[in-house]
C-alpha cells in the first residue's frame, strides 16, 4: 500500500510508531475506525449510470472514422478558395 501524507499526518504516524505500533497496525486500525464511523450511512448512489447513448461505439477503433483525423485543423499549404459568385 502506498499513500501520500501531508506533514501533519506524517507527524501523527511517526508519534504512533514511537509508541510501539507498526505502520501496518496503524493502517488496519484506521481502516476499521473509518468503517465503523461510516456504518449506518446510506450508500452513495450514482444517478444515470449506464443510461447514456454516445452514438458511435467503435469511434476509436474503426479506421473509417480516423481517416481524416487532424487534417481540418492542420494547414494544407493551399490557399482557401472563395465560393463562386461572391
Choose from 30-39, 59-68, 77-86 the range with maximum mean pLDDT.
30-39
Q: What is the pLDDT of residues 23-40, one digit of tens each?
A: 999 999 999 999 999 898
39: its cell numbers: 456504518
Burial class, 19, CB count within 10 angstroms (exposed 0-12 / middle 13-18 / buried 19+):
exposed
Higher pLDDT, 55 or 11: 11
d(CA 72, CA 76): 8
Residues 6+ apart with CB under 8 A from 1: 27
Computed over every residue of the chain, the mean pLDDT equals: 79
Amino acid at each position: 500500500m502506498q499513500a501520500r501524507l501531508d506533514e501533519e499526518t506524517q507527524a501523527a504516524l511517526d508519534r504512533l510508531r514511537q509508541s510501539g505500533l507498526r505502520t501496518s497496525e496503524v493502517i488496519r486500525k484506521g481502516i476499521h475506525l473509518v468503517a465503523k464511523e461510516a456504518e449506518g450511512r446510506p450508500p452513495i448512489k450514482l444517478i444515470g449510470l449506464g443510461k447514456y447513448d454516445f452514438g458511435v461505439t467503435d469511434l476509436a477503433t474503426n479506421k473509417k472514422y480516423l481517416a481524416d483525423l487532424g487534417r481540418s485543423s492542420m494547414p494544407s499549404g493551399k490557399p482557401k478558395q472563395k465560393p463562386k459568385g461572391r
